[in-house]
Amino acid sequence: NDSFEKFVLLFNFLFLAANSSCQINRVISHPTLPISITAHEDRHIKFYDNNTGKLIHSMVAHLEAVTSLAVDPNGLYLMSGSHDCSIRLWNLESKTCIQEFTAHRKKFEESIHDVAFHPSKCYIASAGADALAKVFV
C-alpha cells in the first residue's frame, strides 16, 4: 500500500542520512517538492530525493558548520545559518548564493542557531548564541 511504501522510502532516507560521514545539525522538507535538505557540521548542505532516498546535490555552503535551514513559503529560496556568523540566501533552482550577511557574534565558538522566513511577509529572522533574536526587513 502507498503509506507503507512512503514509510519505507522515509526509512531509507533516514538510513542514508544517518550513515553520512558527518553530524547532521538540521533537516527540513521542501514545501512543494519531494526534497529533504540537511545541514551538516562539515560545512555542507545536502539535498535528497524523498521518493528514492538518493542524494541529489551536495555543496560546501559556509566556512564553518551549517546549523540551520529554512525554505521560503513559495519554495524558491533556501536560507542557511552557520557558526561562521553568516546567513546566506540561496536560489534553490541554481543552488547559488545570492546574498550573504553577518548576523550574530560568536559566543563559545557558536553563532547562529536558527533562521526562519515569515509565512506571508518579506521578513526573515535569526536566533544566535549571543542571546539575540533578530528580524530583518
37, 27 contact by CB (below 8 A): yes
Against a cut of 0.85, is the pTM above it? no
- CATH for 62: 2.130.10.10
Distance, C-alpha 13 to centroid of its chain: 16
Q: With bands split at pLDDT 50, 70 and 90, how would you rate the model's confidence at 107?
A: confident
- Residue 136's DSSP bridge partners are 124
pLDDT in tens, 58-103: 999 999 999 999 999 999 999 999 999 999 999 999 999 999 998 8
Structural domain total, the chain: 1
CA–CA gap between residue 125 and residue 137 (Å, rounded):
9
> Structural domain of residue 132, as residue ranges?
2-136
